[in-house]
Amino acid sequence: MIKRAVKAGKVTIGGGGEISVQSMTNTDTADIAATCAQLTALEKAGCDIARLAVRDMKDVEACRTYIDRFDMPLVADIQFDYRLAVACADIGFAKVRFNPGNTSAAGVRELAAACKANGCPIRIGINGGSLEKDIKVRYGGVTADGLAESAIRTVRMLERESFSDIVISVKASDVRLTVDAYTKLDRLCGYPLHLGITESGSGRDAIVKSAAGIGALLLAGIGDTIRVSLTGDPVYEVEVGKSIVRAVGLDKNYVEVVSCPTCARCFYDLEGLVNKCKQLTEGVNKPLKIAVMGCVVNGPGEASDADVGIAGGKDKAVLFRKGSVIRTLPVKEAEETFLVMVEELVRG
């Protein structure tokens, strides 16, 4: 279902547009130097929207600097004190996120009024760990139905205040629970959905959890913006997020380098050549495909859609374009020629 479009600064969330990739700073928000450095790194990495935790009025004042300095839309993340959310809407944040599990009904009404006056969208950010007590009692714990009900209940509260610039998230650390909750919510409302697996952890396991959950939803046509939650450098969240969007085919504007896993038929340094190709193509926004194959079994045939490719052999290697062999050369010469072809392709 195509959701209504909500503008967060220069980025449109929903409306059938591109999937935006978000992240969140982990510096002290009041530390202007450290936070500016991290926001700069996120912007350079291609982060579409960045979120900051706002804990008190000191943070609010520091955020004036970030709003003035950065073109990237910034989101205020609020827990417990709705008055901070009101202050953030007043100073020009592109969006405010609040948690219904720790915000009173009166606070929601005041926040809706402030955001409406300032043209500031709201994200209803529901987490399994802070789901409202009455909902947990009704469903016997944290369930997909309960997460979806919390979202719809909060949506209705905002709608009663004539507020509709709404984005919703229903995150949990369990992948299946999260996927089920978003799937139910997608059928129940027309507001854009912010996808993520919360508290996913660090390293390989966290990346796999996020890719499995977010990827499954995107493949089902669910979701409008994503944030990959990883312990560590938030820039890595952006890199992983972009990779997920590309893997499910929703971003074609990049250079894809494909390669085989290798076996005893591979007689050259395939991994080294792959790394050189990635260095040459990093940051290039063109819909290109480059194939690095270990042997002719996986060569021109299985990589017939590649714009340029190489398939190694014991003494010689073949170079090909769109499945057609164009040259056969000694392996070392073939590698060097192939890299020149890649460089010409990305520059052309």
For 194-244, write each residue's pLDDT tens digit: 999 988 888 899 999 999 999 999 999 999 999 999 999 999 999 999 999
Rounded to whole angstroms, the Cα distance separating 3 from 82 reads: 27
- pLDDT at position 129 is 84
| Residue percentage of the chain with pLDDT more than 70 | 100
Whether the pLDDT of residue 299 is over 80: the answer is no
- pLDDT at position 220 is 98
Domains and CATH numbers, the chain: 6-247 (3.20.20.20), 255-347 (3.30.413.10)
**Residue 115 annotated as binding site:** no
- pLDDT at position 202 is 85
- pLDDT at position 200 is 81
Whether the pLDDT of residue 172 is over 90: the answer is yes
Whether the pLDDT of residue 32 is over 80: the answer is yes
Mean pLDDT of 139-154: 95
- pLDDT at position 206 is 93
**Residue 295 annotated as binding site:** yes
Whether the pLDDT of residue 335 is over 90: the answer is yes
Long-range contacts for 266-271 (Cβ within 8 Å, ≥24 apart)? Answer: 266/294, 266/295, 266/312, 267/312, 267/313, 267/314, 267/331, 268/294, 268/312, 268/317, 268/331, 268/335, 270/294, 270/312
Distance of CA 178 to the CA centre of its chain: 16
Neighbours of 281 (CB within 10 A): 19
Rounded to whole angstroms, the Cα distance separating 135 from 75 reads: 27
- pLDDT at position 58 is 98
Q: Tell me the pLDDT band of 4, cut-offs 50, 70 and 90.
A: very high
Mean pLDDT of 288-309: 88
Rounded to whole angstroms, the Cα distance separating 296 from 243 reads: 28
Return the H-helix or E-strand segment holding 256: strand 255-259
Q: Is residue 330 helix, strand or coil?
A: strand
**Residue 282 annotated as binding site:** no
Q: Are 319 and 327 in contact (CB under 8 A)?
A: yes
Separation in Å, CA 269 to CA 26, 39, 263, 291, 325: 39, 38, 12, 14, 21
- pLDDT at position 44 is 97
| Residue percentage of the chain with pLDDT more than 90 | 86
- pLDDT at position 102 is 84
The pTM of the full predicted model, rounded to 2 decimals, is 0.93
Tell me the pLDDT tens digit for each residue of 234-248.
999 999 999 999 999
Residue that the structure tokens 């893997």 belong to: 247
- pLDDT at position 104 is 86
- pLDDT at position 147 is 96
**Residue 335 annotated as binding site:** no
- pLDDT at position 2 is 83
Q: Tell me the pLDDT band of 70, cut-offs 50, 70 and 90.
A: very high
- pLDDT at position 304 is 87
Which letter does DSSP use for residue 324 in this model?
Answer: E
Dihedral angle sign, alpha carbons of residues 256, 233, 183, 112: negative
Mean pLDDT of 34-55: 98
Which letter does DSSP use for residue 94 in this model?
Answer: S
CB-based burial, 131-168: b 16+ in 10 Å, e otherwise: bbeebbeeeeebbbebbbbbbbebbebbeeeebbbbbb
- pLDDT at position 300 is 80
Rounded to whole angstroms, the Cα distance separating 166 from 121 reads: 6
Neighbours of 102 (CB within 10 A): 15
